[in-house]
Chain A
């Protein structure tokens, strides 16, 4: 009898706390798997996204404290309005005006990515921020000092307390919080998505429909829907830049078969993610399309799907670009939850 009373009391307590945690939400922070999308690669049960964890990650993402001289934040090269890419800059920037060796990639739909970095050297989203933080040409900092700086900040002690019920910052918790923020940066409300969902007002023009057909015939094998990437590494026939001599995936695997292969990027929001390619060599989308029709260099590791030239008329190229513009997701690019945080 006594035991059953305790059980009821414990159950009531539990319910009370659950209710409390629901009503405490300032933002609607909920990870969504869009209909007909594949299962995310990231195991969210190991790092459940909470409001407080997301907000801590957001503060970290926008904070130059992560760099050695406190001048560069993640957002320095990953701007929301351009799909978290670095608009107008071919190569990423670092402290003291140093220039990196690759074009800063977009950040979106990362929960579905198995490898990170253009050469796939990073095997887990949690570990991705370590690359720019420790790269001497980017933030040039150590995780040890980052954590020291966070622990010296009353603001971060408060944020860690509310995110992890412990005010002490660690490398693990810092990375988990950054993951929680990054995992929420998902784009699935473009005109293309609404068209597929048959939402009113999202009907494709004839030109966009023609562009979609061209895309599916010539591009979708690598830029596979709905993520617009197959997540693989490919040599797309770009002649290597003689100054950078970037061998891509081979740097990681040291397998000559991987020479000049780079991670296939998503095309979502491509209208705003210029410049294009791993070294940012193309400014305009039409230049990219022209590369695939006329610029592909045949070398040992060229992707099999590009061995036969893609032939497109000028009108078809314009149709294709018109379709690519339907991948723009303004809900995502201007979502205030992902912007610079108020202090």
Chain B
């Protein structure tokens, strides 16, 4: 008897769920953000391509990973807020460079606002999953907190082991927090109802390396004042 009641209840629940999921979201569309790592005008090639900074450093880039979180869109007739969402962008993983925002109100948008890095909440909430899972290698074990940006490579300017440079930029405690807010103009980007709009965001590392001198600055592994300065350098790489 109980079995039959359960069956009926589950069937109804299932139907109800299906009803909700198939119902189209009126007036909503999808925004696909594509992050494009570059060095100057050209797409970034890891390891094989030598680049030259405005400061005279010749360098190879071997790794680029960073977090993007809390993406917001603002326009006259629409607004969109992504809450508690963290995206790990990895230049080695092409899939990671696409961030898809669903159920964005169909409207024209003037600005995109996003965090580069993770907010303090993510840093004090214990074990988290998905892109924040500690298996991602973006977490400091000895001094709790996420590494918000990792850039590694080599340059003859660096008097280090194998001429390597390693920038692990992180830290959430004031006054040296390393999360940065970026505001990008969207030029009335249109999100179409039931459509997919693509938006390309350039990540130009030349704008980072033009701000540092690799002979002097080539290792960053701990939170602090220097990390906060490096975060200020990195935030400039984003443009539409």
Contacts and interface: CB of A to CB of B under 8 A. Distances in A.
Contact of A9 (B5, B125, B132, B137): B5
Which 10 pairs, one residue from A and one from B, show the smallest C-beta to C-beta distance?
A: A126-B126, A9-B5, A175-B127, A126-B127, A130-B141, A171-B135, A172-B129, A123-B144, A171-B134, A124-B126
Contacts of A18: none
A8 B9 CA distance: 9
Contacts of B2: 12-13, 16
A5 B6 CA distance: 11
Interface residues of B, number: 28
Contact of B139 (A130, A146, A254): A130
6 contacts: A123-B144, A124-B124, A171-B133, A171-B134, A171-B135, A176-B126
B143 A142 contact: no
A10 B145 CA distance: 43
A252 interface: yes
A127 B134 contact: yes
Given A127-B134, A130-B134, A121 B6 contact: no
B63 to A, nearest CB: 15
A152 B128 CA distance: 22
B141 A13 contact: no
Interface in B113-147: 123-129, 132-137, 139, 141-145
Interface residues on A, range: 35 or more
Contacts of B54: none
Interface of B: 2, 5-6, 8-10, 12-13, 123-129, 132-137, 139, 141-145, 224
Interface stretch (A59-67, A131-139, A235-243, A293-301): A131-139
Contacts of A173: 127, 129
Contacts of A117: 142
Nearest to B5: A9
A127 B128 CA distance: 10
Of the listed residues B8, B139, B142, B145, the one surrounded by the most CB atoms of chain A closer than 10 A to its CB is: B142
A9 B9 contact: yes
Given A12-B2, A176-B127, 8 more contacts: A10-B9, A13-B5, A121-B143, A122-B141, A131-B142, A147-B135, A173-B127, A175-B126
B7 to A, nearest CB: 9
A46 interface: yes
A61 to B, nearest CB: 15
Given A13-B6, A123-B124, A175 B144 contact: no
Interface in A269-311: none
Contacts of B128: 172
B101 to A, nearest CB: 24
Residue with the greatest number of chain A CB neighbours at <10 A, chosen from B9, B126, B143 = B126
A5 B4 CA distance: 12
A195 B12 CA distance: 58
